[in-house]
Amino acid sequence: MTFIKICGITRLGDARAAVTAGANAVGFIFARSLRRVSAAEASAITDHLHPAVNRIGVFVNATQERILEVADKVGLDGVQLQGSETPEFMDGLRRARRSLLIFKAIRPLSAGDVAGAAAYPVDAVFLDPRDPDNPFEPAPPIPVSWLRDVSAARFVVAGGLSPDNVGDLVSTLRPWGVDVSGGVESGPGKKDGVKIRAFVRAVREAEAASR
């Protein structure tokens, strides 16, 4: 099954909606963002979630000490590194906390970027084609050929996804996972339960049609 993460959670009701819809993980942003939450706010949400749901914290160029501090306070199952973190940093984080899932996000500009990221010492690589200087501008889809020679790697496609386009993406690219935030919102940080259910349904229907 395709791994589905609903990111940018700021409210308990939204986290529960994601879990009820069948998402595998919920994400909390601990970096500058309209959806940023504090460790205390995230902890108040995770305390009420089923342990089977992965709790992922999103960080941008945070120190290892800061990441582990928040992970312990919130009860994170994994971290998503969105900055310029090096493979050495990821490896050090892995050694410091072997039980923690580690994801790394990159903006791929070529097949070489994807192939290089496949070698990172992480559990999955998030491919987000959006321009960080213009995050709300539509980004072109990642070419299928970029994933063809690295099919064994765990890639999560993110950026610009919605219930309307995720089904086609899953059918075409067949990624290990997908990640969505704004595409299932009624406003920044305010998730829409109907959109979340539609997103998860589109993924599962695309999976079934591809079998």
From the CB of residue 83, how many other CB atoms can be counted at a distance below 10 Å?
13
Dist. CA 138–CA 134, nearest whole Å: 9
Rounded to 10 deg, the angle between the 64-74 and 39-46 helix axes is 40
Q: Exposure string (b/e) for 166-184, b if CB count within 10 Å is 16 or more?
A: bbebbeebebbbbbbbbbb
CATH code for 3-210? Answer: 3.20.20.70
Taking the chain (211 residues) in consecutive chunks of 10 residues, what is each chunk's mean pLDDT?
96 97 97 94 95 95 97 97 94 94 93 89 90 68 78 82 93 92 92 98 94 77
Is residue 64 exposed (0-12), middle (13-18) or buried (19+ Cβ within 10 Å)? middle
Tell me which of 7, 14, 113, 164 is the catalytic residue: 7
pLDDT tens-digit map of 166-201: 999 999 888 999 999 999 999 888 999 999 999 999
What per-residue confidence (pLDDT) applies to 138?
A: 63
Is residue 141 exposed (0-12), middle (13-18) or buried (19+ Cβ within 10 Å)? middle
What per-residue confidence (pLDDT) applies to 151?
A: 65
What per-residue confidence (pLDDT) applies to 148?
A: 74
Strand partners, 73: none
Has 164 been annotated as catalytic?
no
What per-residue confidence (pLDDT) applies to 144?
A: 80
Has 47 been annotated as catalytic?
no
Dist. CA 55–CA 46, nearest whole Å: 7
From the CB of residue 128, how many other CB atoms can be counted at a distance below 10 Å?
21
Which of the 8 DSSP states describes residue 36? B
What per-residue confidence (pLDDT) applies to 136?
A: 61
What per-residue confidence (pLDDT) applies to 64?
A: 97
